[in-house]
């Protein structure tokens, strides 16, 4: 029998005290979800989630009695967050869904562990573990699926997607992270058939889930499946099937440049090289102003003036985006280690050289800057010489 290593949680300050207060010795509380799944795979899990038979009000009281801050983060759905010295722990009362509309669920509390597991999306997320013994409780074959690298819905995939349409994108994200080989056939067929359900979701939720997928080490094969099945077409028709090849090339360039995955840059790889289209997508997905600006900058040309000039004009981050999207990993790596300089001269110094304040000063300063960039950012002495030359030319003109 597979067991959760007790050591995986005992080092977390305060967690033992919390679990005792929540009655683990009486079978009242278990670890659930991603913490169990990731621990079994030997992965570091930052989040600790617990399920309990205790009612939410009882959880609030017991967390406070244990000496920790209790935050009713999702009390309407039975969730209390206990703030421990080692980090927050979510504690949720066992529940079952009684009504769903594709975006949210109406729940009733229960004391049945199987009922609670049955409302989760995938078998590998339906596992629970006794914190005292490490015993794994598996009601739907999640251990076998975890071993096989198979992401499979609990129950009928069409029903589970009808309960929460976001599960379409979650399926692909979990397959990209944990799957081996082809996706589960019944799950893939259901996601394909219900792709239009994504239209009922807020664009913020779609963006959040898509960016989580793109942040994985290499989601390109999974994205290729999504695009070949036209899963995103109802909400992002701008992304065409050949975009998966651009994403794969970007992933390779990131690795060659020894740079970490960046989901926003990868989203840019999926979009056409058209600023107007990119801006429209950013607005539709309700991205922040900074994210939309970066996304728009990323799709421009990378080789007009050279890598250093690009970094100076756009900033290092946007320059790296363009260089990697243009499959120039060596240039991107060079820019990542370069301190972008500032023009070591101002309009005031040109006035001191004899120019009258006004448009001529601005034009002359731009000319100085342009030559400084063209000469690959020489030192202040050379900039002063350039300035003297440009001022003489301006005065002569």
pLDDT tens figures, 342-355: 999 999 999 999 99
- Give the pLDDT score at 336: 96
- Give the pLDDT score at 76: 78
Alpha carbons 51 and 94: distance in angstroms, whole number: 6
Domains of the chain are: 1-148 (3.30.460.10), 347-396 (no CATH)
- How confident is the model over 94-127, as pLDDT tens digits? 998 765 665 666 779 999 999 999 999 999 999 9
Average pLDDT over every residue of 251-268: 98
- Give the pLDDT score at 89: 97
Cβ contacts of residue 135 below 8 Å, gap of 6+? 1, 3, 4, 129
DSSP for 162-173, written as a single string? HHBTTHHHHHHH
pLDDT of residue 150 exceeding 80, the answer is yes
- Give the pLDDT score at 305: 78
- How confident is the model over 11-54, as pLDDT tens digits? 899 999 999 999 999 999 999 999 999 999 999 888 899 999 99
- Give the pLDDT score at 9: 82
- How confident is the model over 349-372, as pLDDT tens digits? 999 999 999 999 999 999 999 999
- Give the pLDDT score at 345: 95
CB under 8 A, 24+ apart: contacts of 231-234: 231/168, 231/169, 231/172, 231/191, 231/192, 231/195, 231/198, 232/195, 232/198, 233/195, 234/195, 234/196, 234/198, 234/199
For residue 156 the two structure tokens come to 């009928």
Q: Which of 116-130, 184-198, 298-312, 372-386 has the lowest mean pLDDT?
A: 298-312
For residue 37 the two structure tokens come to 């799944």
- Give the pLDDT score at 209: 98
- Give the pLDDT score at 241: 85
To the nearest whole number, what is the mean pLDDT of the chain?
94
| Residues β-bridged to residue 153 | 122
Distance, C-alpha 254 to centroid of its chain: 16
DSSP for 196-224, written as a single string? GGGGGS-HHHHHHHHHHHHTSS--HHHHH
- Global pTM? 0.92
């Amino acid at each position: 029998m597979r067991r959760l290593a007790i050591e995986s949680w005992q080092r977390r300050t305060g967690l033992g005290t919390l679990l005792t207060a929540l009655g683990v010795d009486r079978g009242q509380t278990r670890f659930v979800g991603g913490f169990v799944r990731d621990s079994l795979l030997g992965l570091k899990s930052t989040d600790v989630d617990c399920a309990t038979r205790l009612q939410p009000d009882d959880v609030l009281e017991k967390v406070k009695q244990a000496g920790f801050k209790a935050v009713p983060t999702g009390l309407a759905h039975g969730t209390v967050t206990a703030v421990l010295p080692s980090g927050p722990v979510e504690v949720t009362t066992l529940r079952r869904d009684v009504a769903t509309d594709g975006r949210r669920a109406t729940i009733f509390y229960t004391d049945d562990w199987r009922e609670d597991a049955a409302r989760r999306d995938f078998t590998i997320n339906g596992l629970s573990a006794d914190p005292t013994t490490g015993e794994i409780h598996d009601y739907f074959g999640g251990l076998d699926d975890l071993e096989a690298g198979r992401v499979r819905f609990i129950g009928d995939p069409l029903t589970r997607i009808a309960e929460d349409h976001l599960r379409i994108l979650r399926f692909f994200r979990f397959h990209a992270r944990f799957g081996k080989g082809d996706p589960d056939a019944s799950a893939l067929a259901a996601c394909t058939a219900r792709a239009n359900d994504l239209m009922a979701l807020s664009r913020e939720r779609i963006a959040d889930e898509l960016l989580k997928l793109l942040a994985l080490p290499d989601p390109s094969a999974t994205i290729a499946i999504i695009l070949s099945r036209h899963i995103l077409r109802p909400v992002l028709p701008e992304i065409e099937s050949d975009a998966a090849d651009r994403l794969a090339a970007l992933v390779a360039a990131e690795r060659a440049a020894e740079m970490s995955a960046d989901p926003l840059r990868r989203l840019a790889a999926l979009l056409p090289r058209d600023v107007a289209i990119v801006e429209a997508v950013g607005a539709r997905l309700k991205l922040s102003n900074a994210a939309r600006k970066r996304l728009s900058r990323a799709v421009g040309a990378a080789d007009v003036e050279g890598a250093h000039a690009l970094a100076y004009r756009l900033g290092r981050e946007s320059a790296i985006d363009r260089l990697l999207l243009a499959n120039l990993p060596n240039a991107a790596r060079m820019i990542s280690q370069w301190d972008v300089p500032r023009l070591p001269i101002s309009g005031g110094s040109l006035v001191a050289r004899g120019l009258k304040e006004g448009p001529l000063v601005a034009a002359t300063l731009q000319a100085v800057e342009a030559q400084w960039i063209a000469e690959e950012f020489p030192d202040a002495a050379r900039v002063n010489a350039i300035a003297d030359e440009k001022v003489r030319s301006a005065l002569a003109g």
